[in-house]
Amino acid sequence: MRFTLAGVGLLGALVAAAFLMASGGDIVSAKEGDTVTVTMGPGRDGSQTGTATLTDMGAQTQVVLSIQPGPAGVEQPVHIHAGSCPGVAAVAFPLTNIVNGTSTTVVDATLATLQTGGFSINAHQDTTQAGLGVYVSCGSIPAAAQATPTPTGTVAGEQEAPGAAPAAGGGPVSGDGSSGWWYLLLGVGALTLVSGGALVLKFRSTP
């Protein structure tokens, strides 16, 4: 059985990759159960204010509306439209009609799909032809915030002091734990190379 430096390098790379995957890096992903609240303000033609709560359900999104009630028992159509309030565009996803100020619907779209910044929730006065043309409540679904890396050595939400001097030696400043993983990976890689080198020398010196 013979070992080569290429084989040892490959082993070191595999070990480093395994530790990096275990650390999770800085990747942040959406989780089921996350919610987004949309403020339902005055529509183009009326004012029934309230909120719409969007809940991540994986491949689907639950939309729960709670607005000021219209006439008792009167169904008010409501949809997710393309475009922004108050002049929304075409219907993208129909929602359950609002009755007495409430409505709950499970939409066949991910929360990320709805959070592109191009959709709004719009409620109509009633189901009549004339009522469909009256917009009484509207709320634009906000675009998802883009995650930005936190500078090493700072806490999320804090800003570095202007002109702050770098840490002595110019190396990474510990504080978020990420540098510790790099030191561990470097140590594992070095140990793997040293051990592999010793094996190469041993097997080459063996008759």
* Cα 160 from Cα 176, distance rounded (Å): 14
Choose among 38, 41, 63, 52: nearest CA to 137.
41
Portion of the chain with pLDDT greater than 70, in percent: 55
* Cα 185 from Cα 198, distance rounded (Å): 20
Portion of the chain with pLDDT greater than 90, in percent: 53
Residue ranges of domains in the chain, CATH in brackets: 35-140 (2.60.40.200)
DSSP 29-44: ---TT-EEEEEEEE-S
What is the pLDDT, as a whole number, of residue 110?
97
Give the confidence band of 33 by pLDDT, cuts at 50, 70, 90.
confident
Cis, peptide link before residue 71, omega less than 30° from 0: no
What is the pLDDT, as a whole number, of residue 16?
43
pTM above 0.85, yes or no: no
Query: What's 162's DSSP letter?
Result: T
Residue 10 is encoded by which pair of tokens? 């490959």
How far out from the chain centre does Cα 2 lie?
48
Per-residue pLDDT reduced to its tens digit, 131-186: 999 999 999 999 997 655 545 554 444 454 455 444 444 444 444 444 454 455 55
Other Cβ atoms less than 10 A from the Cβ of 111: the count is 23
Q: Is the pLDDT of residue 116 over 80?
A: yes
Per-residue pLDDT reduced to its tens digit, 6-30: 444 444 444 444 444 444 434 334 5
